[in-house]
Amino acid sequence: MGCILSLISSCAPTSINKSGRIPVIYLSEAEDPIALDQIELLLNEAELSENPSSTMLKIAILFAKSGSQKRSEDALKLITPEVLSDQKFIEYSLLKIELSLRSYNPNAAKKVINHVRFELLESSMSRKNRQQVLSLRADINNELGYPVDGIRNLTELSLLLESQSDSLKIHNRIWRELTSLPFDTLLECAKDKHYSVGEWCNLARQMRNFQNNRDVQMSLFLKWKAEESQHPASQIPPSWLVDLEKKWLPYAQVAILLPMQGQYRGPSQTFLDGVLNAYYELYEQESSSLPEIRVYDTSVQTIQKVYSDAVQEGADIVIGGIRESEAAALSNLTIASLPTITLNSINNSGSFDSPNLYQFINAQYDEILQIGDKAKRHGFKRAIVIFPDQKWGYQASRNFSDYWTETGGTIVNQTPYSETTKDFTQHLKSPFNIDLSEKRAVNIKRFVNSQVVASPRRRQDIDFAVIFGYPEKARQIKPALDFLYAADLPVFATSRIYNGIYQDDLNRDLSNIRFTSMPWTMPKQIPRKLQSDHEMHVAYKQLYARGYDSLLLLRNLETLKLNTDYTVFGATGELSLVNRTIKRRVHWAHFQDGKARSLP
């Protein structure tokens, strides 16, 4: 049994992992049944121990190391922290914080780390414990939506490190956090009174202004580095900034393959206008590496023929496949001879084999996963999904339902609606069991007491609702929910619910809906406002933004391939490259008093 307890001394990691975290304990992903059986014996011994809380702490640590987080949490509940020595109290608190973060409960972690006794002990902690605390504080602040506070924690942590490799990991983490911040946050953060934090943000702000222009970024960094030679990022630059010095020729000729006639003319022109918006911004920077853009019409020729023509005419990279059939045709090329970004999904994963083929699709899938993760963090279990009876609506509902059930949630009801639906109060009565409640009230009056005043009640087994739809329908759905006694029900939606236009009078009907917001819709989240038509439908505005981001992607494709942990902050969200698919992550917003406001 002593050999098991000896593991305690080695349970706390001493090095920083690749992600820039200092885990309190290496929590196993798989349970060790032999170790768990041995630990069970310790539980019996704990009752006979002179200091059962101290023994129980050892058991909690061993449970965590052995892959049983739930048992570790249960063991911690049996501890009386007041009787622990100072060092044991620190170990108890650190483990509890780590487990809370693992359980997506940053508020519980914050409560522990801000405990009076724990804060009093911080100044006398060992260097290793202080490093762990700062790493945990950064995690908590990021989870709670206070990334700048997290960067302050990481900046302080870097001063406690002795190894240059550890400092680099922390600097890389700081830079990743900075690349995910909206531009307005960087502007505010650059004014931070703490020199180190302010200059980190100032450097990120300068880089953000010229995401399309690697040459300018390099010049700005060298100038900043010379002026701020004592700054940590100057002495140990993040890997991303070091990689700026690596030379590769930018794509000189870009082939854009679009159906410019027929029913796809409007969407294709909108996408192309977005590309040109980004192109003219680059032109105004007097870049020496301005690419040549050639547009090829796929309306009258097959995309394979047009692709071949583009190759023969000297294209370096191809963007195309806005139609599903065209994306499939590109994926079926034996080998894509050029880097090729498709604009629609490639359903046959077996054909997605060419190392030159990339996907940048318009699906809501990434945002749907974010909604699921957000709901899970709130502790919600049971959902109702309301969606349009169109292809994209059924796909969105199916994607959310699959993800939600895979993660242990329950779908109580999936309710489609048509474009012709006018009265959502009637349409949603059945899913919320209001009609059954009304029938019960009628029966009570008829058979029990005609004088009874009975108010209908909605079903109480729904934790939250997800609405898929554009603003016009969502403005009818939310008031209907309020009328049907569901005003207190949390409601989530994707970015399609907001068109980026301040319409206080209309958007009051969307009050309290939380949604995944694209940066182009929120003030100053990107350095320059998009030049799309104010009157465009949301779907077209998002297509325009995707055109804008397509040029941003091709200008940063090599960087994203080299730094898979990093993102490019585009008009449609934070863009990263995962298995040759462009992933989007967006920030959260909600409607309040008719205005869309960012959420932490």
Distances, alpha carbon 202 to alpha carbons 186, 392, 475, 526, in Å = 7, 41, 40, 15
Dihedral sign computed on CA atoms, order 584, 589, 591, 593? negative
Bridge partners of 467, per DSSP, are 386, 493
Whether 418 is in a domain gets the answer yes
Domain residues for the domain of 431 are 365-493
pLDDT at residue 193 greater than cutoff 90: yes
**DSSP character string of 537-554:** -HHHHHHHHHHHHHHHHH
Does the structure show a pLDDT above 70 at 347?
A: no
pLDDT at 335: 67
Q: How confident is the model over 210-224, as a mean pLDDT?
A: 92
What's the DSSP call for residue 431? T
Same domain, 5 and 90: yes
**pLDDT for 11:** 47
Which tens digit of pLDDT belongs to each residue from 453-493?
Answer: 456 777 899 999 999 999 999 999 999 999 999 999 999 99
Residue 223 and residue 498: Cα distance in Å, rounded? 40
Looking at the fold, whether 262 and 317 belong to one and the same domain comes out as: yes
- 408 by Cβ neighbours in 10 Å (0-12 / 13-18 / 19+) ranks as exposed
- Domain with residue 423: its CATH number is 3.40.50.2300
Domain identity same for 138 and 163: no
Got the DSSP string for 242-264?
A: HHTTS--PPP-EEEEEE--SGGG
- pLDDT confidence of residue 17: 83
Q: Report the distance separating Cα 347 and Cα 344, nearest Å.
A: 9
What Å distances lie between residue 473 and 226, 507, 538, CA to CA? Answer: 55, 12, 13
* Whether 486 and 401 share a structural domain: yes
Task: Looking at the structure, tell me whether residues 301 and 239 fall in a common domain.
Answer: no
* Mean pLDDT calculated for residue range 505-518: 96
**SS3 of the chain: helix, strand, coil, percent, to 5:** 55, 10, 35
User: How many other β-carbons are positioned within 10 Å of the β-carbon of residue 56?
Assistant: 23
Model confidence pLDDT, tens digit, residues 408-453: 999 999 999 999 999 999 999 999 988 665 555 454 555 555 554 4
pLDDT (tens digit, 9 = 90+) per residue, 362-384?
778 999 999 999 999 999 999 99
Query: What distance in Å separates the CA atoms of residue 549 and residue 532, rounded to the nearest whole number?
Result: 13
Structural domain count, the chain: 4
- On the CB side of 437, CA atoms within 13 Å amount to 16
Residue range 180-208: mean pLDDT, rounded: 97
Any domain includes 326: yes
Closest CA to 173 of 151, 190, 204: 151
**HEC sequence for 278-346:** HHHHHHHCCCCCCCEEEEEECCCCCHHHHHHHHHHCCCCEEEECCCHHHHHHHHCCCCCCCCEEECCCC
Q: Shortest CA distance to 380 belongs to which of 353, 402, 412?
A: 412
Say if 592 falls within a structural domain: no
* The residue count for the chain: 600
Any idea what the CATH number is for the domain that residue 179 is in? 1.25.40.650
Domain presence at residue 535: no
Residue 503: inside a domain, yes or no? no
Assess if residue 276 is contained within a domain.
yes
Q: pTM to 2 decimals?
A: 0.90
Residue 93 has pLDDT above 70, yes or no: yes
Average pLDDT over residues 92-117: 95
pLDDT higher than threshold 70 for residue 595: yes
pLDDT in tens, 48-82: 777 789 888 988 988 888 888 898 999 999 999 99
Question: What is the tens place of the pLDDT at every residue in 120-138?
Answer: 999 999 999 999 999 999 9
Residue 575 in domain: no
* CB distance 576 to 585 below 8 Å: yes
- Give Cβ neighbours of residue 108 (< 8 Å, ≥ 6 apart): 100
Within-domain flag for 475:
yes
Final residue of a domain: which of 474, 493, 512? 493
Starting from the edge strand earliest in sequence, which strands make up the sheet with 491-493, in order? 410-417, 382-388, 464-467, 491-493, 514-517, 587-592, 595-598
Cα separation of 241 and 31, whole Å?
A: 40
The Cα–Cα gap between 319 and 53 comes to: 63
